[in-house]
Structure formats: C-alpha cells, structure tokens
A and B are shown apart, each in its own frame.
Chain A
C-alpha cells in the first residue's frame, strides 16, 4: 500500500434535494491523507463538514440528489462498491465514525461492555464471544475506561467517560480510519483536554489515522497534522498544520484565525461581517467573495486551487501565479 495515498478523496460531491432547490453541502472536496496522520477539518456551522463525514461513510438520507467522486482507501475505490458490500467491507470494519453528540446516543439499558462489543458482534461474526469481549476490554483500556466501568450502564457515567465509550466503539474493529465529528464540543474544558490526550496517545502508540471535524481551531491544533478549512461546501485551504497555524493564506482562514480569542497572546479580535452564502444556489465565483476584504474583479469566476507552498493548497485568485503575498 502506498504511504502517500492511504486515503484519497477526489472531487467528492454530496447534494441534497429540497423543495427550495438543491443544497450543495459538499461540493468538489479533494484531499489525501497518509496512514497514521490526522486531518482536521475546521469550519463554521453549516459549511458542510458533518456532511463530509457522512459522505465518507456513505450514511446518507433519502433526499440525496448527487453523490459522486472517488474515495480511495488503500487500493479500493469505496464509491464503486454496492451498498451491501460497502456495509460489509468498509463501514465500521475499515472506516469508523464517532458521530456528533454520540455520548448522548448510547443505549441506556445496555451495559458499557456490550455496547463496545456491538460492532464486532455485527461485523465479525466468525469471532467467538470470548474473543469479542476480550477485544472490547482492550479497546476500553486503550481509551482509559476503568475495567469496573464495563459492567455499568451509560447513565452511571460522566459525559467524558461516555464519550470514551463511543470512541472505544469506533476503535474496537481496528479500523484503518476513524472519523470524529465534534468529539469534544459538548464537554467541559478539563474533560476536553483529557480526551484530546487520549486521542493523541492512541494516535502515537497505535498509529491510528483520524479525520477530526471541529469548529474549534484551538482544539483542532491538539491533533492536527494537516488542516483543511471548509467554507460553503468547499475546501478553501488545505495545509500542513505547522504552515496553517503560522501562516494561513486564504483570506477566510486569516479572518477566522483573527476571530479566535487567545489566552497566551494579546491581539485585537476581529469578526467577519456578513454571513456565509446559502448552499442552495451559491454564488458562481469564489463563495467567500462577498465577505472578502481583498475581493477583486477575478473573484467572479471560480478560483483554482493553487499550491502556494509544498503541500499548502489555497483556493483563491490572489495566489494565482505571479502573486507573491
């Protein structure tokens, strides 16, 4: 398996049909991710980041209008698989998901050990019950759930502990990729820091590959190797974490960074005037143009994705060849 394209997403599109028209929730998203690395997708509410997670796992509602593109996982193009094969061979066996607010979706009448074991009971029926529970215990240990908690029910656990259960459920099948959708957003500051430590350790010790979806740029930096900034259904910037945090290039990324309050550094906060465009019939050219302080004539046409530094892609006319900003 080539290291350089463990996961490759190309021109992924997910549009929904509504009475008002088609909602372009994910519109031409491409990125690739190496094994053992983490991509964090940051964006504000309604930018399509959760839809991206669902598109990768093919967890689609009925009103899908367009679902196309390529998702290469190793050598397999998962988009080409039938629904049945995708369910059997990819979802949860190779790609697992920790959905948003999952800690509140645990079944209240099933013990923790059994919930963690459930994906194996469904997907790995050839394993003996003993082997399955052995692996559930191991997954619990990895995420730091004390052994005596396994016989408890979810309501007896704190929010942070419940979130660990959902992460153990995602890890128990030993998937190649785990998609985490806002795993810490409903948790307290200390619990959040604790959970990020857990994820960091899993990444380091077990070489897990994550896609972390979040609205919080600060928390995103805890785990990121690569950062993707999503705006109105598109990736406007994709860069190695180091480059992104030191020098974001897209005007939206810069504005977003300037709006984040920092504790250790004094800066004047800015906000972005206006609102993101509707995903029903979004503007033809650059989707950020209406709010962009650097808008110029070219922005009426769709900007290309330009590699401004090795590995740093920006979807903006400013970086078209010849510009040195």
Chain B
C-alpha cells in the first residue's frame, strides 16, 4: 500500500451527555470538540495540554473505547467510527496502549509470563512455543533481561520503571502499527523517565510504529516527537513541528504554558512568573468565541469573545497553525476598542 497515512482523525467530537435524575438531559461535556490530524507510519506526534483539556478523551476515542459523537476516524484506510465488531477486534490488535500508572495497569495476580501471554491467546496464537518466543522477544525489546529472571515475577516485585517497561512489552507484543501512550512517564522519577522515553524511541524505530504521545509536560515532548498539538478546552489550538513550537509559540496559551515551565536555574527564584488569570474553562459551557479569551492578555475586544477563530497559518504556507484571531491575515486585528468608541 502506497498510502503512508496510518491514522486520520477528521473533525472528531466526543461529547458526553449529562443527565439529571437519570433522564432529563442537561447538556453535554464537550471533551473533544472538533479535532483533526493525521499520523503517518512510523511517526510520533504529541498531544499536549493540561488536565481537563480533553487529551485523554481523545486518546480513548482513538483507541475505540469511546465512540465519537461526530466525525470520522480512519486507520489504515478503514473507517473506525462505523466499524463492525470484527473490524474493531482487528484494530485492537494493531494498536498498543501504554497507560499512565503502570501498577494500576497490570493485573496484580498474574505473573509477567501470563500478562504477556494473554493478548496472544486472545488473538489466537495457538502454538505454545511460538507464544513463548514472542514473549521473550518483547521482554528483550524492553530490556527486561535476562528474561528468565522476570518471567515468574509479579508486578509488585518490579520497580516503577520495570513495571512501565512491562506495560510497553505488553503493548508491542502483537506487533501493532500504532502505540497510544497516555502520560507514560509522568509517574516515574526523573532518572527513569529518560530511560523509558529513549526505550520508546528505539522501539518505534525497530517496529516502525506510529506513536501518539499524550502528555502535560512540554519539556519532554521535544525529545520525543516530531509534531506537537496543543489542546485547550477540547480543541487543538496550535500545531507545529516540535522545535518550532517550543522556540516560537504563537498562540497566547502556548506561550503562557511554555513560560510557566521552570528549567533548573537558580535565577528562577529572583523573578515572578507571568501566569494568565483564571482557570481552564468548563467543557460543559465553554466560553463563546475563542475559549481562551477570558484569560488572554492579547484578546481583541469585539472579536475574540464573539467569533470562534479558525486555524490560521502563522506564516503563509506554514504548517504551523494557531486557532487565534491574531494571525488572521485577511483582516488584520482591528484597533482594540474600535467598536466601543462610537
């Protein structure tokens, strides 16, 4: 197949119905509200945002755990949003999932061998020798070696880093084409974090995996992925190549997010950080217009609170896009108080 797009997400909405007393509908939580992107084979993209921005709902929608309310998802050219159970079963063997909390993700009553054997059994690998060969291969790939030492261990006998490596081994044992990693290192110590990220990088090359890396931590993203999508209030508000986004963030929210991260530097203690006021908006009743406008220092009165911005190119022809009226080249930002002066 010449097509090198592995996953295509088109204007996906995942809304959760909110009911009162179990039947009268009071509204929707718009967790994912019109997200589109493409993932190529063997590519890593990162989805970055704070808690409550909808990034985990997006991950679960992509994994097929939630059905999108609206929009289309194609994997390897096949539509998932209206897939039959058989197609979904095939899809699940093509996608690995790395959870945030490795201990919570591993069944405490199964040993390493059984944890890794289960997906093989479910997917009909009947030959015992073949199963064992694949289990060994996966454990070696995640550097849980010598393999013999680990096969009979239970999750609580492993350290946090080893547990996460086991989770990764389980995710790749069916040799999937894609991996969804939801905060894979946020529970780990700094020194282990780097090890796991480097491991994921190496596995991606070896298995030619497409990886969707979901995180709140912009500082690790650059070391790990080529493109970054920043989510806010259920929408992707900025997208760009990783280096570009970190060096020249365009959306005021991304700028604030980057400014808030502390590099280890004694000078930090001498200055206050600029933090936008207020809090992340409710996904039940998002603010009208741009969702960031109530907190934005550069909000244009009469525009940002009225009309929702589309994705503008930050420079003509650039793949760096921001959902922000500041980059509307067709009609440059009007004077701040133009409409009120009359």
> CB within 8 Å of B: which residues of A?
44-45, 158, 160, 188-194, 196-197, 200-201, 215-225, 241-242, 244-246, 255-257, 259-265, 269-273, 275
A36 to chain B, nearest CB (A): 13
CA distance A190 to B53 in the complex (A): 13
Which of the candidate stretches B30-38, B77-85, B92-100, B214-222 sits at the interface with the other chain? Answer: B214-222
Complex contact B264–A190 (CB within 8 A): no
CA distance A263 to B279 in the complex (A): 24
CA distance A269 to B193 in the complex (A): 10
Known: A190-B257, A246-B266. 8 other contacts (CB 8 A): A188-B280, A215-B189, A222-B273, A261-B223, A263-B263, A265-B263, A269-B194, A271-B192
CA distance A151 to B12 in the complex (A): 41
Given contacts A218-B264, A241-B269, contact A259 B279 (CB under 8 A): no
Question: Closest chain B residue to A160 by CB distance?
Answer: B279
CB under 8 Å from chain A, chain B span 221-276: 222-223, 246, 256-269, 272-273, 275-276
The interface centre, meaning the residue of A221, A257, A263, A275 with most chain B CB atoms within 10 A of its CB, is A263
Complex contact A224–B266 (CB within 8 A): yes
Complex contact A197–B190 (CB within 8 A): no
Taking the complex as formed, is B191 at the interface, i.e. its CB lies under 8 A from any CB of chain A? yes
Taking the complex as formed, is B50 at the interface, i.e. its CB lies under 8 A from any CB of chain A? yes
Query: Which size class do B's interface residues fall under?
Result: 35 or more
Complex contact B223–A189 (CB within 8 A): no
Question: Closest chain B residue to A40 by CB distance?
Answer: B269
Question: Closest chain A residue to B277 by CB distance?
Answer: A194
CA distance A273 to B198 in the complex (A): 13
Question: Closest chain B residue to A192 by CB distance?
Answer: B260
Question: Closest chain A residue to B273 by CB distance?
Answer: A193
Complex contact B269–A188 (CB within 8 A): no
CA distance A158 to B256 in the complex (A): 19
Complex contact B266–A255 (CB within 8 A): no
The interface centre, meaning the residue of A188, A215, A224, A241 with most chain B CB atoms within 10 A of its CB, is A188
Residues of A within 8 A of B50 (CB): 188-190
Residues of B within 8 A of A189 (CB): 50, 216-218, 257, 260-261
Taking the complex as formed, is B159 at the interface, i.e. its CB lies under 8 A from any CB of chain A? yes
Task: Specify the main secondary structure of chain B where it touches its partner.
Answer: helix
CA distance A114 to B287 in the complex (A): 33
Complex contact B190–A190 (CB within 8 A): no
> CB within 8 Å of A: which residues of B?
50-51, 159-161, 189-195, 197-198, 216-220, 222-223, 246, 256-269, 272-273, 275-276, 279-280
Complex contact A188–B216 (CB within 8 A): yes
Question: Closest chain A residue to B48 by CB distance?
Answer: A189
Given contacts A245-B264, A263-B246, A263-B263, contact A221 B269 (CB under 8 A): yes
The interface centre, meaning the residue of B159, B189, B219 with most chain A CB atoms within 10 A of its CB, is B189
Which residue in A193, A222, A244 is a CB contact (below 8 Å) of B275?
A193
CA distance A228 to B218 in the complex (A): 26
A264 to chain B, nearest CB (A): 5
Residues of A within 8 A of B193 (CB): 259, 271
Complex contact A200–B272 (CB within 8 A): yes
Complex contact A256–B190 (CB within 8 A): yes
Question: Closest chain A residue to B161 by CB distance?
Answer: A275
Q: Give 8 A-B contacts (CB < 8 Å), ordered by A residue.
A: A190-B275, A215-B189, A218-B261, A218-B263, A242-B266, A245-B265, A259-B190, A271-B193
Question: Closest chain A residue to B50 by CB distance?
Answer: A188
Question: Closest chain B residue to A45 by CB distance?
Answer: B189
CA distance A189 to B220 in the complex (A): 13
Which residue in B222, B223, B269 is a CB contact (below 8 Å) of A200?
B269
Given contacts A188-B51, A190-B257, A261-B220, contact A217 B191 (CB under 8 A): no
CA distance A221 to B279 in the complex (A): 25
B258 to chain A, nearest CB (A): 6
A193 to chain B, nearest CB (A): 4
Residues of A within 8 A of B260 (CB): 189-190, 192-193
Which residue in B160, B264, B269 is a CB contact (below 8 Å) of A217?
B264
Residues of A within 8 A of B272 (CB): 197, 200-201
B251 to chain A, nearest CB (A): 14
Residues of A within 8 A of B266 (CB): 221, 224, 241-242, 244-246
CA distance A245 to B267 in the complex (A): 9
Residues of A within 8 A of B197 (CB): 269
Complex contact B198–A261 (CB within 8 A): no
Complex contact B219–A222 (CB within 8 A): no
A271 to chain B, nearest CB (A): 4
Which residue in B194, B262, B264 is a CB contact (below 8 Å) of A270?
B194
Complex contact B265–A221 (CB within 8 A): yes
CA distance A11 to B195 in the complex (A): 34
Complex contact B194–A264 (CB within 8 A): no
Given contacts A188-B51, A189-B261, A190-B256, contact A259 B269 (CB under 8 A): no
Complex contact B190–A217 (CB within 8 A): yes
Given contacts A158-B279, A189-B50, contact A269 B269 (CB under 8 A): no
